[in-house]
Amino acid sequence: MTEHPFDTDTQVEPVAERTYAATLSDRWNALGGVPNGGYLLAVCLQALRRDLPFPDPMVASASYLRPAAIGPAEVHTEVVRAGRRVATGEARLVQGGKETVRVVATFGDLGAANGRTEIHGRPPDLPPPDDAVGLPDGGLPGVSITERLDYRAAALPGWAQGRPTGDAETAFWMRFRGGREADPLALAALVDAAAPAVLELGVHGSATMELTVHVRGRPAPGWLACRASTRYLIGGYHEEDFEIWDSEGRLVAQSRQFALLAG
């Protein structure tokens, strides 16, 4: 446990059997001034990690039911099944008696995943981080999560220059500010920590309904190479696919979300 905001702001305290107290911080706000969905997932996973006998989230699905609010929250957990190799639990994030997020997650030991490996994909093609362009210092006004992370890309995104490219496929470097390295639990949050790829279609935002993340490995220290894309916007609903590759060129997380355009 460090004093980094990601650790302090996702901390949970047991207050009753299978019940944890959390405080949702205003330091992880997404567009719209509400806590980011990946941040809420991380809070739920912190509670589940206490109840499950394995250290690493391997697959987690979060259903976003209502916008969460800054301030106190409870996480109610259930151990669904604990097996020899993996364990599955459910977490419900509740505020003011109303459930805002439901998570089902399976934890395991990524260090024990010693089966076959075969990769048919590559990390995104990016200039070295030091040669890449960063978002302006301080991030985007009102979107406090951008103050917690560094993002660098080959060029400023089209939407950030008022000229959306029309192609909802982006690639960039990402890491926590303040020197905290990513770990498997943080990866589950980071797949939702960048601007939605659909901003390049000239839309103003998007609300995540469901997010599933697969954590595929423990990341090496350093910058994370990310790729985000939306290929199918249909009737206002869209997927977003996200990949995170670590500094040694290994895929460490993959996610897909289902979202509805805002407005």
- Cα Rg of the chain (Å, integer): 18
Q: Is 214 in the site for a second copy (CB under 8 A)?
A: yes
CB nearer to a second copy: pick between 201 and 224: 201
Closer residue to a second copy (CB): 11 or 61 = 61
- Residue 113 as a binder of a second copy (CB under 8 A): the answer is yes
Q: Give the one residue of 1, 17, 119, 179 binding a second copy; rule: CB under 8 A.
A: 119
Selected from 1, 84, 97, 117, the binder of a second copy by CB under 8 A is 117
The window from 61-69, 126-134, 150-158, 182-190 that contacts a second copy (CB under 8 A) reads: 61-69
Q: How far is the CB of 3 from a second copy (least distance, A)?
A: 33
H/E element holding 81?
Answer: strand 71-82
Name 198's Cβ contacts closer than 8 Å, sequence gap at least 6: 168, 206, 230, 233, 238, 240, 259, 261
- Residue pair 124/245 in contact (Cβ under 8 Å)? The answer is yes
Distances (CA, A) of 129 to 6, 132, 219: 22, 5, 17
Binding segment toward a second copy, per CB under 8 A, in 21-29, 104-112, 153-161, 186-194: 104-112
Residue 26's alpha-carbon distances to 34, 112, 156, 244, in angstroms, are 8, 36, 26, 25
Q: Which is nearer to a second copy, 181 or 210 (CB)?
A: 210
97 binds a second copy (CB under 8 A): no
- In terms of CB distance, is 105 or 135 closer to a second copy? 105
